[in-house]
Amino acid sequence: MTHLLNLDRFRSAGIVTIGYEILQGRVVDTNSAYLARKLFLMGLDVRSTISVSDDLEDIIRALKFAVSDMGAELVFTTGGLGPTPDDRTLEAIARFLGVELVVNDEALRDIKAKYSRRGVELTPERLKMAKLPQGAVPLLNPVGIAPGIYIESTVGERRIAIVSLPGVPREMEAIFEKYIEPALRKSRRLYVAEGYVRLRVMESEIAPYIRSVMKRYSGIYIKSHPEGEELGLPVVRIYTAAYGRDAERAYEACKAVQEEFISYAKEKGIEVAEHKPCVVH
Amino acid sequence: MTHLLNLDRFRSAGIVTIGYEILQGRVVDTNSAYLARKLFLMGLDVRSTISVSDDLEDIIRALKFAVSDMGAELVFTTGGLGPTPDDRTLEAIARFLGVELVVNDEALRDIKAKYSRRGVELTPERLKMAKLPQGAVPLLNPVGIAPGIYIESTVGERRIAIVSLPGVPREMEAIFEKYIEPALRKSRRLYVAEGYVRLRVMESEIAPYIRSVMKRYSGIYIKSHPEGEELGLPVVRIYTAAYGRDAERAYEACKAVQEEFISYAKEKGIEVAEHKPCVVH
């Protein structure tokens, strides 16, 4: 893949992580957190994250939920790309999009080269990783074997794309940072500024004021998080995230909301326990 | 609530976590991991975990997915029970089940008592936390204000239940451990034994053998996780989880599979890097 993917059209995203280890609570789903954070900071609206097992039908159900129920245009999957029989993500994507799995020449060359460099033969299990849904672009793995894929399609009347990444965090991140992040950065039209203030007040006490600020700044995301104890030593963290077509606009909008809460606190004699100024990432 | 909940009938579970902070990647969804682990060890089949925003329709979509698409009988939600206007989980559950939100006397008494002990009046924001879906049992919060709920209903022709817990991990865990865990422990019919071996081998090399063991032990969960690098210093962790109607049967089944892999490794000259014997929790 020599040219940058064109991700201009996509505004919303969904994440599907695949594998029983999350459903068994054996691992915390840090892949979703990593992807969500990256996508959010690039101005994409992440609509949902889902974890399902490696069952073929379950993966298809999760893709349907992300695309059809939640309206995601750009869906990321992690996990299920390896050589073992329970790695069935690409089969599920093919079924979901109504295409066949076919050996992809570029992926095959890459996998062959990686194994032959170590004098290891190409077994059916290894060959399997080169079988991609028809029309998929392989995202060759810089630190492992199994390639990720990028595939566009039309579902209903909407143009969507699926990016499928390995489940091993190091490989997932390497492919994302090589192929996806630069494309999102190039296409991004929205900048996000975020920051928070922590006030020593009960959440139930400041709730009406939060509501009034939300109404006046309806385009800005404001969210209160109770910390400490509501009736013991209450602290409320009020997080603000503002979008803007350039970094400065995003920053100014975020700052305006922060200043509202800081003046209100001063006026009411509420202690500001912490002020984390707005920053654009 | 004086008597134990009766959770005997439920075999499968789903988890729905609510709040933008997960979709923005600001927090890792440790609530899902906590619940999934607890439910798995009690012998429940966790079918999916989903995170959505606090949008009413999105929460309803997530509940539908968990119950209708994935077939969960016991659905857990976390988040969205507090006093602020964006805490809308109970409204979504009421809508999903087709019931009204009504003031629950037990919840109201509890909330009133907690606030009045501190000389704090009962505002509409605080009263909101006592409005529960009709038919819900309040799960009074031992460490915070907002109660959780337990509600049974019929969806389609299936009997299901929803357990709604706060998003603050300390409160979520306190309610779970007080009301849900003892009930699950009492009703459990399955014990889980789990363990793993780590072998110095390429995943693609051992994949055919894993498949053959899977076929012979079809009731036992066997999963390989590549660690290290497939072509550098490959290590494969082979995790085994076995269910049994008593602890001993679960243990024996788990151990039998581990022994298969250890003898195979010995026979093929593959180094066993680690052996974590099966344990029943």
Helix (H, G, I), strand (E, B) or coil at A23: helix
- What is the rounded CA–CA span in Å between residue B151 and residue B49? 19
Mean pLDDT of chain A: 93
Mean pLDDT of B247-275: 96
Residue of B nearest to A21 (CA): B223
The CATH number of the domain holding residue B255 is 3.30.70.1120
Residue B2 has pLDDT above 70, yes or no: no
Q: Does B281 touch chain A (CB under 8 A)?
A: no
Domain co-membership, B179 together with B207:
no
Q: Do A33 and B22 touch (CB under 8 A)?
A: yes
B 67-126 → A contacts, CB under 8 A: 69-70, 82-86, 114-115, 117-118, 120, 123, 125-126
Q: Report chain A residues whose CB lies below 8 A from the CB of B203.
A: 82-84
E-assigned strands of A72-157? Answer: 74-78, 101-103, 131-133, 137-139, 148-155
- What is the rounded CA–CA span in Å between residue A264 and residue A271? 10
Check: CB of residue A161 under 8 Å from CB of residue A10. yes
Mean pLDDT of B84-90: 91
- Whether residue B1 is contained in a domain is answered as no
**Domain total of chain B:** 2
Domain membership of residue A222 as a residue range: 191-280
Sheet with strand B45-52: strands edge to edge? A137-139, A148-155, A158-165, A74-78, A12-18, A45-52, B45-52, B12-18, B74-78, B158-165, B148-155, B137-139
Ranges A82-86, A219-223, B68-72, B85-89, most confident: B68-72
- Whether residue B5 is contained in a domain is answered as no
pLDDT for residue B190: 85
Q: Report chain B residues whose CB lies below 8 A from the CB of A47.
A: 23, 52-53, 58
Per residue in B134-167, pLDDT (tens digit) is: 999 999 999 999 999 999 999 999 999 999 999 9
Residue A212 has pLDDT above 60, yes or no: yes
Q: Report chain A residues whose CB lies below 8 A from the CB of B145.
A: 204, 230-231
| B130 to chain A, closest Cα gap in Å | 13
Residues with Cβ within 8 Å of residue A79, at least 6 apart in sequence: A17, A18, A19, A31, A54, A89, A166, A167
Q: Do A115 and B40 touch (CB under 8 A)?
A: no
- Whether residue A2 is contained in a domain is answered as no
Q: Report chain A residues whose CB lies below 8 A from the CB of B142.
A: none
Domain co-membership, B73 together with B137:
yes
- CA-derived radius of gyration, chain B: 22
Mean pLDDT of chain B: 93
Residue A116 has pLDDT above 80, yes or no: yes
- Whether residue B4 is contained in a domain is answered as no
- Whether residue B2 is contained in a domain is answered as no
A 168-197 → B contacts, CB under 8 A: 168
pLDDT for residue B128: 93
Domain co-membership, B130 together with B204:
no
- What is the rounded CA–CA span in Å between residue A234 and residue A245? 36
The CATH number of the domain holding residue B159 is 3.40.980.10
Q: Which of B48, B82, B221 sits opposite A51 (nearest CB)?
A: B48
Q: How far is CA A104 from CA A4, A131, A208, B165, in A?
A: 19, 6, 58, 47
| A8 to chain B, closest Cα gap in Å | 20
Q: Do A22 and B33 touch (CB under 8 A)?
A: yes
Q: Select from B18, B125, B230, B233 the residue whose CB has the most chain A CBs within 10 Å, as the one to mutate to test that interface.
A: B230
Q: Do A226 and B168 touch (CB under 8 A)?
A: yes
- Whether residue B171 is contained in a domain is answered as yes
Helices (H), A12-71: 20-23, 30-41, 56-64
Which of A122, A157, A187 marks a domain boundary? Answer: A187
Q: Which of A37, A114, A229 sits opposite B144 (nearest CB)?
A: A229
Which of B135, B152, B187 marks a domain boundary? Answer: B187
Mean pLDDT of A265-274: 95
Cβ-Cβ pairs closer than 8 A, A with B, add up to 203
Residue B195 has pLDDT above 90, yes or no: yes
Which of A150, A170, A187 marks a domain boundary? Answer: A187
Domain co-membership, A110 together with A215:
no
Q: Do A36 and B21 touch (CB under 8 A)?
A: no
- Give me the percent of chain A exceeding a pLDDT of 90: 78
Q: Report chain B residues whose CB lies below 8 A from the CB of A230.
A: 144-145
- What is the rounded CA–CA span in Å between residue A99 and residue B251? 43
Q: Find, among A210, A218, A220, the residue nearest to A251 by Cα.
A: A220
Residue A2 has pLDDT above 60, yes or no: no
Domain co-membership, B124 together with B23:
yes
Q: Which of A49, A70, A231 sits opposite B118 (nearest CB)?
A: A231
Looking at residue A70, what DSSP letter applies? S
Domain co-membership, A117 together with A49:
yes
- What is the rounded CA–CA span in Å between residue B226 and residue B190? 29
Mean pLDDT of A210-238: 86
B 122-141 → A contacts, CB under 8 A: 123, 125-126
pLDDT for residue B231: 62
Looking at residue A198, what DSSP letter applies? E
Residues with Cβ within 8 Å of residue A31, at least 6 apart in sequence: A15, A17, A78, A79, A165, A167, A169, A172
Q: Report chain A residues whose CB lies below 8 A from the CB of B21.
A: 223, 225, 239
pTM > 0.95: no
Number of continuous H segments (helices) and E segments (strands) in chain B:
10, 12
Residue A230 has pLDDT above 70, yes or no: no
B 199-258 → A contacts, CB under 8 A: 202-205, 207-208, 210-211, 214, 221, 223-226, 229-231, 239, 241
CA B247 to chain centre: 21
Domain co-membership, A180 together with A198:
no
Q: Report chain B residues whose CB lies below 8 A from the CB of A207.
A: 83-85, 125
Domain co-membership, A38 together with A170:
yes
User: Which residue would you say has higher pLDDT here, A119 or A88?
Assistant: A88
Domain co-membership, B110 together with B203:
no
Q: Do A36 and B28 touch (CB under 8 A)?
A: no
Domain co-membership, A112 together with A49:
yes
- Whether residue A165 is contained in a domain is answered as yes
- Whether residue A133 is contained in a domain is answered as yes
Mean pLDDT of A252-276: 96
Number of continuous H segments (helices) and E segments (strands) in chain A:
10, 12
Residue B1 has pLDDT above 80, yes or no: no
Domain co-membership, B88 together with B133:
yes
Helix (H, G, I), strand (E, B) or coil at B131: strand
Q: Do B211 and A83 touch (CB under 8 A)?
A: no
Residue A189 pLDDT level (bands cut at 50, 70, 90):
confident
pLDDT for residue A1: 55
| A135 to chain B, closest Cα gap in Å | 26
Q: Find, among A221, A36, A226, A15, the residue nearest to B167 by Cα.
A: A226
Domain co-membership, B232 together with B181:
no
